[in-house]
Amino acid sequence: MLAIYEQHRWFFVVFLFCGALVLANVVHYVLFRLLKRDTAAGQRLGWGVQQHLGAPARVIFLLTCVQIVLPLVPELPPNIAANIKQAVAMLIVASLGWLAVGLVYIFQAYLLRKYDITAADNRRARSVHTQFQLFRRVIIAFVVVLTAGALLWTSKDTRLLHFGSGLLASAGLASLLLASAAHTTVSNFLAGLQIALTEPIRIDDVVVVAGEWARVEEINSAYVVLKIWDLRRLIVPLSWFIENPFANWTRQSANILTYSYLYLDYMVPVKEVRAQLETVVKAAPQWDGTVVGCQVTNLTPVSMEIRCLMGAPDSGKAFDLQCLVREEMMEWVKTTYPEAYPNLRVRAVGDGGLTATLAGENPKP
């Protein structure tokens, strides 16, 4: 029996290795299949487990099989066996770091599951999403540093081992050196932490920066991506939002007041304009049900300026409501009071000559 074992030892090792691989893949498939089915059924047990942990878990299973079967490989030189074991161990450490990064994403998804950023009143959700997006990047950077140190500690090379110890032991000194050498990068990083804590901007906020109306699309560790209304992207360093003033239209809530101006002749009855404005605004789906008003805000030589004030649930609908009010009100004026457009009046003076006078001015004799 022993002779048969010695004769077919390589075959036995290959068979055992293949069996271990099949077992690892079966366990991986069954586990993640169940998680995927639970997520599809709406039980919310996945939280992105399949997406973030599927690949690193498979690699860890396979490397574990290799490490189990490796001692059974016959007639392998000691130095080669030691190097292979070292490489497998380092790959397992790197895979565990990869798995830890995936766990960070899952932890974020678990904590953010109750904060729907697509809801109508999403101020709190935007705040939480902004904070976790920045904290996630900090934690992932910390995991990467720990993984690099663990890789160096795993090595049996004395020089690499001391280097790994020094890598973590000198983290404070390295931070000071980096702060001195990369002032802009560090200032942006600290500005990101300050933004996460004080919340001058949040994900999906509407801001006006450099004269551009834009929505905060992404907050990175160094810059903010602003999506302009015409689909361009404006890239702004984080420190800019700490050092410069800017307008945030959704700081407290997404609701906003908007207005449209009408320039009509003095003869138009303002009360009827006000009544028609209320009819138009209250029938508009973009109105938030709060404010609707009509006031004469200025008088010019040829017309009076009428401001139509309305409330809207967000800035996008506010612009649509502005355009709708202009179109509907001017259509009503054209139909009901066609003479209400600004007019240039002409009056005969003296010896039958014609003198053009502006509304509101006294003619010269």
DSSP 154-217: H---HHHHHHHHHHHHTHHHHHHHHHHH-HHHHHHHHHHHHHHHH-SS-TT-EEEETTEEEEEE
- 215 and 277 together in one domain: no
Q: Are residues 245 and 162 in the same domain?
A: yes
Model confidence, pTM:
0.48
CA 278 to CA 353: how far, in whole Å? 46
Say whether both 7 and 106 belong to one domain: yes
Q: What is the pLDDT of residue 271?
A: 92
Same domain, 200 and 301: no
Same domain as 228, residue 123: yes
pLDDT of amino acid 308: 93
Asked if the structure places residue 223 within a domain, the reply is: yes
Amino acid 282 reads K
CA distance 165 to 167: 5
Ranges under pLDDT 70 in the chain: 1-14, 16, 28, 31-32, 34-50, 72-77, 80-81, 116-124, 127, 154-186, 189, 343-365
Number of domains in the chain: 3
Boundary residue ending a domain (197, 224, 252): 252
Give the residue numbers spanning the domain of 301: 256-340
CA distances to 66, 132, 194, 205 from 135, rounded to whole Å, are 36, 5, 11, 19
- Name the β-bridge partners of 236: 224
Domain co-membership, 277 together with 244: no
Q: Tens digits of per-residue pLDDT, 41-56?
A: 444 445 566 677 777 7
